[in-house]
Amino acid sequence: MNNINYSLFRGALVFFCFFAFANVGSSTGPIINQYVSQYKNIAIAEMHRTGIPASIKIAQALLESDFGRSDLALTANNHFGIKCGGSWTGDTFYKEDDDRNEKGELIESCFRSYLSAEESFIAHSKFLSDTRKGYRYGFLFEYGSTDYHSWAHGLQKAGYATDPKYPHKLIKIIEDNELYLLDENVFGTSNTTAIAQTKSIQTKENNTIREEKPILVDKTQSENSFAKAEKEKKNTKRRYKSINGSRALVAMEGDTPELIAKQEKLSFKKLSIYNEYINTKDQVLYEGDIIFLKAKKKHFEGYKSRHRVREGETMQDIAQRYGIWLKELYRKNRMPQGSQALKGEQIVLNGLVKIKKRPKFKTESEYLNETQEFLFEGEDITMTN
């Protein structure tokens, strides 16, 4: 095929793909067409930035937001049913879902509320690509961004959803509506353009969502650049908290333990002692992380005596939330160091649990090396339709 004919053929193919996509979902109604048209750009942008197939992201959003019609999507711009979690400090939206109190009664669950639907799409990327969940979702990113079949089945394998038909539902939505065309990039969106679009949304939303590759203070940067970064942080109003009688702050985008230690006139050694998960000076800190500036306590001094483990919540998360030493939390609950309690289990914050009533847990080796069984049963991102 000569160059002229190839160019004509390629142009016809691209035109056909555009035309095909313009008629996506004709068999399933105009609602899907409208939804895809409205959010395909952010899905493609996030695919370029993180590797998550745009088809998978759109299909999940359609399925979990009832095609954008759920009260959570309409009122809170939350299209993936992401719950608050222990570190969320933004706006919230409450509705009954699957959380129950100590008596087993259904109670309202806390969901994250976003400034825009696009912000929710970025948060979904962050959830899956969070390095702290790498043991669970990391293998997904070994699949290509056009391999939506593997992604659909992999999400269920990783414990994202309990519905055994979840992968098939995603694949059906993708194939019935030809969403795979988004993954094939027939629209010609470049990496640079896509990433710029995501950054533009993040800036517009006052940086309420952290990028998956957060800005770090490089070890080799000059003293001048470090001083500049420190000055910029000082000009931004920090948020402080008193948790269980101990002073703490809420991490901001771009924070590192070294930067916080210098600003708060603490040694890095003390900061790492107060916060057991901090290991290195340039460690990645996420916006909303709780950083203790004073020593924590052996037990919780508040009115609450127990905590029910939420989806995706670790013992370290609970220790930070209540201002308790992690080793003391393990001791009170008679759990091995490094183990993780299962979702729904009751964690004792005061006193000492009886050995027969200690929480069910995964050992550290099971937690790190499990392949087909996963730590938290159920869905990390709850379906709301």
* 375 part of a folded domain: no
- As given in the structure block, the two tokens for residue 370 are 């499990």
90 in the same domain as 18: yes
99 and 41 share a domain? yes
Residue range 328-361, pLDDT digits in tens? 999 999 999 889 999 899 999 988 999 999 999 9
52 belongs to a structural domain: yes
Instruction: Render pLDDT for 2-38 as a digit per residue (tens, 0 to 9).
Output: 444 434 434 443 333 433 344 433 444 688 989 999 9
In a domain? residue 49: yes
Looking at the fold, whether 172 and 103 belong to one and the same domain comes out as yes
* Beta strands at 346-348 and 106-112: parallel, antiparallel or unpaired: unpaired
Structure confidence at residue 207 (pLDDT): 45
User: Sign of the C-alpha dihedral, residues 360, 379, 138, 271?
Assistant: negative
Note down the domain range covering 274.
223-292
| Choice between 106 and 352, residue whose per-residue pLDDT is larger | 352
107-164 confidence digits (pLDDT tens): 788 889 998 999 999 999 988 888 777 778 888 988 888 899 999 999 988 888 878 8
- The reported pTM is 0.47
Query: Which among 292, 316, 344 is the end of a domain?
Result: 292
Same domain (yes/no): 313, 167: no
- Is there a single domain that holds both residue 121 and residue 196? yes
Q: Looking at the structure, do residues 89 and 171 belong to the same domain, yes or no?
A: yes
Q: How far apart are CA 168 and CA 170, in angstroms?
A: 5
Number of structural domains, the chain?
A: 3
Residue 349 covered by a domain: yes
Report d(CA 162, CA 170) in Å as an integer: 14
CATH code of the domain covering residue 18: 1.10.530.10
Residue 26 and residue 172 in one domain: yes
Whether 283 and 339 map to the same domain: the answer is no
- Residue 365's domain is classified under what CATH number? 3.10.350
DSSP state of 337: T
Residue 130 and residue 234 in one domain:
no
The CATH number linked to 267 is 3.10.350.10
Whether residue 215 lies inside any domain: the answer is no
Last residue of a domain, one of 292, 314, 348: 292
CA atoms within 13 A of residue 39's CA, in its CB half-sphere:
30
Question: Does the residue 218 lie in any domain?
Answer: no
Give residue-wise pLDDT tens across range 308-331: 998 878 899 999 999 999 999 999
Specify whether 67 is located in the same domain as 180.
Answer: yes
Looking at the structure, tell me whether residues 93 and 177 fall in a common domain: yes
Residue 269 belongs to some domain of the structure: yes
Cβ pair 111, 92 in contact under 8 A: yes
| Same domain for 200 and 233 | no
Q: Which three-class secondary structure state does DSSP give residue 104? A: coil
Q: Widest CA span of the chain, in angstroms?
A: 80
In a domain? residue 212: no
